[in-house]
Amino acid sequence: MANQSMRTNEIVHEIESMIRIYKDGSVERLIGCEVVPPSIDPQTGVQSKDVIISPENAISARLYIPKAQPDPSTHKSKLPLLIYFHGGAFCIETAFSPTYHNYINSLVSAANIVAISVDYRRAPEHPLPTAFEDSWEAVKWAVSAEDEWVKNFADLERVFFAGDSAGANIAYRMGIRVGLEGLSSSGAKLVGNILVHPFFGGEEPIGSETENPYSETFEKMWRIACPTVTSLDDPMINPSMDPNIEKMGCERVLVCVAEKDWLKDRGWYFYEELKRSNWKGKVEIVETAGEVHVFHLHNPTSDNALAFIKLFVSFFNEAVKANM
């Protein structure tokens, strides 16, 4: 007990109920630490497995295929591929947590898709841009079709990105990276990108941010994620300052915001900025009334969460149809 007391006095950074960072560099995560193994989900029949993408950099992922699997000998029967990036302010949660595992199971079942949920390295041990670089490595691995599930069941001409909170920030950056560098030389194509309650910010408050009690906490989160950046107008956190915003490498983007989310106005601002840019694609925004940040993960069986799943399925279907 004495050692614990001494260590508690050496906390140098803390976000209440989320994370503690100690003077000796050790980290204590207070939420998002539980993990569950891959499985055959008893409710949906969705099957999952874990893969190592980079042993050197500890990048891994969980892959999902629906119960009704296509015939791998017939290209036309292959399914869209979703590459998903989990949230957690770049410093908590994993692709293997029960929250994300259960959510991806539900999404894969409803949308009849193949999914790859990326487990990138987290801050503060690995500050940004590590999460971006890890995620890009995972994207390149996915479209290389080295894995048998991807090779047999995924249609790489129908690739989607999606993420929530910090994961939506990553999904945005991956979309820009596709626009700048291309997805692959094998004909893989990014069809759409879904940004759910994106973790964006900026130096100047906008909308309700002027009275936002969470603004100080947001800045703390960002300083933990990327301590070397001196301004909240860095393009990594403020895409309106990104000179490459018009390079989004797909034709459709869906932005989701929630009425009671303290990041809502940033989502709307991003939507307007992307529309104003020279990007030639179609961007939509949907605001869920009465809900908070990532409500669909906290209460996945609620009416609004189930409607959220239907929204994504509709986006997938419409984006695929538009690219046929």
Q: Which amino acid, residue 47? A: Q
Sheet holding 47-54, edge to edge: 47-54, 59-65, 114-119, 79-85, 154-164, 190-196, 252-258, 282-288
Give the other-Cβ count within 10 Å of 146's Cβ: 11
- Active-site residue (options: 242, 261, 277, 296): 261
Q: 191 is written with which tokens?
A: 């069809």
Residue 206, number of CB atoms within 10 A of its CB: 13
Using alpha carbons, list the distances in angstroms from residue 256 to 41, 76, 81. 27, 31, 20
Question: Nearest 5°: CA angle at 289, between 286 and 290?
Answer: 145
- Report the SS3 class of residue 27: strand
Per-residue CA distances from 3 to 6, 26, 246 (Å): 5, 14, 53
What is the C-alpha to C-alpha distance for residues 182 and 197, in angstroms, rounded to an integer? 26
> How do 114-119 and 79-85 pair as beta strands?
parallel
Nearest to 122 by CA among 33, 4, 251: 33
Task: Single out the catalytic residue among 97, 117, 165, 240.
Answer: 165
Q: Is 233 a catalytic residue?
A: no
- Max CA distance (Å), the chain: 66
Q: Which of 86, 101, 126, 293 is catalytic?
A: 293
Query: Would you call 261 a catalytic residue per the annotation?
Result: yes
- Which amino acid is located at 161 in the chain? F
Structure tokens at 258: 């929630």
Q: Is 109 a catalytic residue?
A: no
The answer to whether the beta carbons of residues 137 and 161 sit under 8 Å apart is no
Cis previous bond, 55, omega within 30: no
Q: Residue 174: enclosing H or E segment and its boundaries?
A: helix 166-181
Catalytic positions are 165, 261, 293
